[in-house]
Amino acid sequence: MGKERTPIPISPVTKKNGYMQNAPRSPGSGDFYDFSCKVMLIGDSGVGKTCLLVRFKDGAFLSGSFISTVGIDFRNKVVNVDGTKVKLQIWDTAGQERFRSITRAYYRDAQALLLLYDVTTKASFDNIRAWLAEINEYAQDDVVIMLLGNKSDMTNERVIRREDGERLAKEYGVCFMETSAKTGLNVDLAFMAIARDLKSKKTRKPNEEKFNVAEFVDNEKQKAGCCS
Ligand SMILES: Nc1nc2c(ncn2[C@@H]2O[C@H](COP(=O)(O)OP(=O)(O)OP(=O)(O)O)[C@@H](O)[C@H]2O)c(=O)[nH]1
Ligand SMILES: [Mg+2]
């Protein structure tokens, strides 16, 4: 286990369903947005949640010694989805067991969950079922879930095949992709797919077709010519 990050004070409270609509400015970021939503990063300690967030927010990779998150932390990023500005309020949770009760308190406000395992650590993959049970118990019924197999750049150390991740995701009916916080593979795609799904849920008219997040991800991967 690595060092620990300084505890971060907990929580601006969001509305019950987590959406804050038509706010003129997102607190702290200075960016205008049309609506905001809460996304949580969860999974075992060391799978790369903080690194994934830093890669998405700042385009950088936190290499060097591992600093384990204490409690919970968040970062905002406003993304543009076909002209609509969606503020993603991204909560980075601590994977260590002793912080589990803190994490549980945040599930109910989340519209989307990015659930990570590390393709080089079998235990983190085996624990995904337990994480999904947690989600089932504490999160909203219609929460968007995306399973991410992170550290896909570590080819030589890999112990979990892509097909294993795909199979598990299919079993639970959730979207799946492999990512790398180090190279950036699929990181923007994961967050953008979530933002699109949430925008669609928020703005879809009754006669409009539902947004299919899995289909969107497949199309985008094909466009990028990648296979992960
Ligand atoms: N090669 C490689 N290393 C990664 C990747 N993502 C994270 N790491 C490394 O894995 C270690 C753990 O990353 P963190 O992002 O701090 O893990 P975490 O999931 O936030 O862990 P907790 O805060 O304890 O829950 C660090 O040493 C990172 O440099 C990746 O995609 N590729
Ligand atoms: Mg962390």
* Segment 90-127, tens digit of pLDDT: 999 999 999 999 999 999 999 999 999 999 999 999 99
51 closest CA partner among 112, 111, 99, 118: 118
Task: Spell out the residues 6+ positions from residue 98 whose beta carbon is closer than 8 angstroms to its own.
Answer: none
Whole-angstrom distance, CA of residue 192 vs CA of residue 29: 19
Q: 153 CB less than 6 Å from ligand 1?
A: yes
What is the 3-state secondary structure of 25-76?
Answer: CCCCCCCCCCEEEEEEEECCCCCCHHHHHHHHHHCCCCCCCCEECCCEEEEE
CA 145/CA 151 separation, integer angstroms: 19
Calpha distance 17→48 (Å, rounded): 27
Which of 20-29, 168-177, 178-187 is predicted with the least confidence, judged by mean pLDDT? 20-29
Residue 12: its pLDDT value, please?
Answer: 38
Average pLDDT of span 191-198: 94
The predicted pLDDT at position 22 comes to: 40
Q: What is the mean pLDDT of the chain?
A: 86
- Looking at per-residue pLDDT, the higher value among 19 and 101 belongs to 101
Decide: 36 in ligand 1 pocket, CB within 6 A.
no
Tell me, what's the pLDDT at 3? 54
pLDDT attached to residue 133: 96
* CATH, domain 16-21+32-204+212-223, list 3.40.50.10490, 3.40.50.300, 3.10.129.10, 3.40.50.970: 3.40.50.300
Question: How far is the C-alpha of 146 from the C-alpha of 116, rounded, in Å?
Answer: 8
CA 132 / ligand 1 centre spacing (Å): 21
Q: What is the mean pLDDT of residues 78-90?
A: 95
Assess whether the C-beta atom of 149 lies below 6 angstroms from ligand 1.
Answer: no
Indicate the SS3 state at residue 80: strand
